[in-house]
Structure 1
Amino acid sequence: MEIQGKLIKKLDQQTGQGKNGAWVKQEFIIETQEQYPRKVCISLWGDKVKDLETIQLGDSVKVLVNIESREFNGRWYTDVRAWRIEPMSKGITPEQAPELPPFNDNLYPPMEGGTDDGLPF
């Protein structure tokens, strides 16, 4: 399943030791860009945690996830686990915006016998 949105928060990394060795987990929150935006908490495990380091708050991302629910003592718990996170666009500040070239007034000179209304036809 694919979820797109804007990264709004990175939670602290969690580490531990299990029967298969050391593990690392990091959760992050994205806000979807739909008519009614939703916030979704998604977790990254293992080496995938490094993929989140290059993405800044405010960046638009595409996240491919698996959704799984499990039962424990009569209650159900749902996990949204990312297996790929890709930046779509970076949130840029006005200082980072590209500079446009200057406008050239002489690009379309006035036609013979015509008025100089700025139109090339």
Structure 2
Amino acid sequence: MEVQGKIKLVGETKSYGSNGFQKRELVVTTEEQYPQHLMIEFVQDKTGLLDAFNVGDTVKVGINLRGREWQSPQGETKYFNSIAGWRIEKVGAGAPAAEVPPFDEYDPISNSKDEDHDDLPF
């Protein structure tokens, strides 16, 4: 899945626990009739992907939806969702545009004097 929008916040990389788990948060505001502020988590080796991005950049982010079930000591079951980012790229003015090949007015087939244009082998 992908999310596109403008970066509102790029968080610092934080470490958790004794095993050195790393997480970095990115907030992207979608550009639609009712903009949404989506917090996307980048973890472990993906935290460095955010180094090249700044607040205000328009980006496209590759995401996965994550869901977890948790049971409290009282036996109550709760569900939690998160958005995990795994790819990010700039879009818009700073991004390379796809180039359309130039139009060539001379078409050797339609401009030739030979009327037999059927070059099919059968």
Match of 1:15 in 2: 15
- TM-score, normalization by structure 2: 0.67
Structure 1 counterpart of 2:86, which letter? W
Report % sequence identity.
Answer: 33
- Give the match for residue 43 of structure 1: 41
Shift of 1:86: 1.0
Which residues of structure 2 form unaligned runs of 5+? 72-76, 95-122
Instruction: Give TM-score, length-normalised by structure 1.
Output: 0.67
Separation in 2, partners of 1:11, 1:90: 24
Provide closer, same or farther for how the CA distance between residues 66 and 77 of structure 1 changes in structure 2, counting only shifts above 3 A: same
Q: Deviations over 1:25-68 (max 9, x none)?
A: 10110000111111100000112111101101000000010001
- Give the Cα–Cα distance (whole angstroms) in 2 for the partners of residues 43 and 14 of structure 1: 11
The CA distance in 1 between the partners of 2:82 and 2:68, in whole Å, is: 8
Contact 2:10–2:54 (8 Å) recurs in 1: no
Looking at structure 2, the residues matched to 81 and 90 of structure 1 have their Cα atoms a distance apart, in angstroms, of 26
| Aligned-residue RMSD, C-alpha | 1.6
Picking from 77, 80, 89, the partner of 1:77 is 80
Structure 1 residue 90, shift from structure 2 partner:
6.4
Q: Deviations over 1:62-86 (max 9, x none)?
A: 0010001111021110010001111
